[in-house]
């Protein structure tokens, strides 16, 4: 019954990472011109695309405009080709509704909502390829897209997951590691103030280990932040240069 050995005795994970290492990150800001803000991120083989529209007038009959803050509307979806098996994924199934809600909560907590009363911001995130840590990739992509759209936030929101195997916490778990049924903790954090915007746990984890796992996840968030911040700075300087030229 022995499952996969997620962590070898030599201290390497199945894909060759050490326990505390993130997967390879690649990201780009401003991938679409039509949207107000957009970003694309790859964390290992998990690929996510985020687009942001707004702030704009409240459209449709769904929600009433709020007089003191902006409405944040999040929609999460998975591309039909994002997993091994091609699957039609109807909008609004339970899982994506839940994800959308999580995202909404996360960003309501970080966007300076009081700056845009009576208006609405739409955030669309799509997973193009899923290989574990979908939520994290979405949050990170959305953060970049919001920055790209120029919407003020209290801080970046960075997300990272961590698991626990053989008394060792693992950072940024891949699908293979997730699917072994061990505990997975997902944290979305404001890296400067170390405030936690969202905390999610799958499967049971002993409370003695929680601190350790949380520690590792927040370390992952900060690493994530460093990468994202560098990318944003580079993007801005490139924009500045192109503006000078024109």
Partner 1 sequence: MLTSRSFVKKTRKGGVMKVVREHYLRDDIWCGSAACTKCPIDKPVLEKEPVPEVENTLCSYPHYLLLDTNVVLHQVDILEDKAIKNVILLQTVQKEVKHRSLPSYKRIRDLIANETKRFYVFTNEHHRDTYIEIEPKESPNDFNDRAIRKSLAWYDEHFKDTPIKIVLLTNDIDNREKARNEGRVAYTVNEYVKAMEGRPELMDRLAQIETKERERKANDSDITAPGGRNVLYPEHLSSYEINAGIKQGRYKKGTFKASRENFREGYVSVQGMEKMVFIKGLANQNRAVQGDIVAVEMFAESQWTAPSTVIAEDKGSKEDVLDEDTDNSHIGPKKGAVPTCRIVGIIQRNWRPFCGVIMPAAVKGGTKHLFMAAERLIPKIRIETQQYETLAGNRIIVSIDSWPRDSRYPLGHFVRNLGAIGDKDTENEVLLLEHDVPHLPFSEAVLSFLPKLPWTITKEDETVREDLRHVDICSVDPPGCTDIDDALHYKPLENGNAEVGVHIADVSHFIKPGNALDTEACSRGTTVYLVDRRIDMVPDLLSSNLCSLRGGVERFAFSTLWEMTPEAEIVNVRFTKSIIKSRAAYTYEQAQNKIDDKSQNDALAIGLRGLLKMAKILKQKRTDNGALTLASSEIRFSMDSETHDPIEVERKVMRETNSMVEEFMLLANVSVAQRIRQEFPQSACLRRHPVPPLSNFEPIIKVALTRGFELQVDSGKALADSLDKANIPSIPFFNQLLRMMTTRCMTQALYFSSGMLPEDEYLHFGLASPIYTHFTSPIRRYSDVIVHRMLAVAISADACFPELLDKAKIQEICDNLNYRHRMAQYAGRASVDLHTQVGMYSSLPV
How far apart are alpha carbons 225 and 97 in whole angstroms? 27
Residue 221: CB minimum distance to partner 1, A: 12
Nearest-10 Cα torsion for 102, 161, 193, 212: 130
Residue 209: CB minimum distance to partner 1, A: 6
Residue placing its CB nearer to partner 1 in the complex, 18 or 56: 18
- Count of other CB atoms within 10 angstroms of residue 129: 17
Residue placing its CB nearer to partner 1 in the complex, 22 or 146: 22
Q: Which residues bind partner 1 (CB under 8 A)?
A: 1-3, 8-10, 12, 14-17, 20-26, 44-45, 84-85, 131, 174, 176, 180-182, 204-206, 208-209, 223, 226-227
Residue placing its CB nearer to partner 1 in the complex, 31 or 165: 165
Q: How far is CA 238 from the centre of its chain?
A: 24
Which strands form 158-165's sheet, in the order they lie side by side?
A: 168-171, 158-165, 184-190, 195-202
Residue 60: CB minimum distance to partner 1, A: 39
CA 23 to each of CA 109, 157, 192, 210: distance values in angstroms, whole numbers, following the listed order: 27, 18, 22, 22
CA 16 to each of CA 10, 19, 117, 169, 215: distance values in angstroms, whole numbers, following the listed order: 11, 9, 49, 15, 22
Residue 222: CB minimum distance to partner 1, A: 8
Residue placing its CB nearer to partner 1 in the complex, 6 or 35: 6
- Residue 171: which of 159, 162, 179 has the closest Cα? 162
How far apart are alpha carbons 77 and 48 in whole angstroms? 10
On the question of a cis peptide bond just before residue 83, with omega within 30 degrees of 0, the verdict is: no
Residue placing its CB nearer to partner 1 in the complex, 66 or 210: 210
Residue 25: CB minimum distance to partner 1, A: 5
Residue 98: CB minimum distance to partner 1, A: 21
Residue 27: CB minimum distance to partner 1, A: 11
Residue placing its CB nearer to partner 1 in the complex, 103 or 130: 130
CB 65 within 8 A of CB 118: yes
Structure tokens at 196: 């936690």
Residue placing its CB nearer to partner 1 in the complex, 104 or 212: 212
């Amino acid at each position: 019954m022995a499952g996969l050995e997620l962590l070898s005795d030599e201290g390497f994970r199945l894909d060759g990472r050490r326990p505390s290492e993130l997967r390879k990150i690649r990201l780009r800001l401003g991938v679409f011109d039509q949207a107000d803000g957009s970003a694309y991120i790859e964390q290992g083989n998990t690929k996510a695309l985020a687009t942001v529209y707004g702030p704009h007038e409240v459209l449709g009959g769904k929600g009433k405009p709020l007089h003191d803050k902006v409405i944040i509307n999040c929609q999460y979806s998975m591309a039909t080709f994002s997993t091994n098996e091609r699957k039609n994924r109807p909008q609004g199934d339970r899982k994506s509704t839940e994800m959308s809600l999580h995202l909404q909560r996360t960003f309501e907590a970080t966007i300076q909502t009081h700056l845009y009363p009576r208006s609405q911001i739409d955030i669309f995130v799509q997973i193009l390829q899923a290989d574990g840590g979908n939520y994290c990739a979405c949050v990170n992509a959305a953060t970049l897209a919001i920055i790209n759209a120029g919407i003020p936030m209290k801080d970046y929101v960075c997300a990272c997951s961590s698991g626990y195997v053989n008394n060792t916490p693992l950072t940024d778990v891949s699908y293979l590691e997730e699917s072994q049924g061990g505990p997975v903790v997902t944290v979305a954090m404001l890296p400067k103030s170390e405030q936690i915007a969202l905390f999610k746990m799958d499967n049971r984890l002993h409370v003695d280990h929680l601190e350790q796992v949380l520690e590792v996840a927040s370390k992952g968030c900060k690493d994530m932040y460093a990468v994202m911040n560098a990318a944003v700075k580079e993007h801005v300087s490139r924009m500045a240069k192109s503006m000078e030229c024109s």
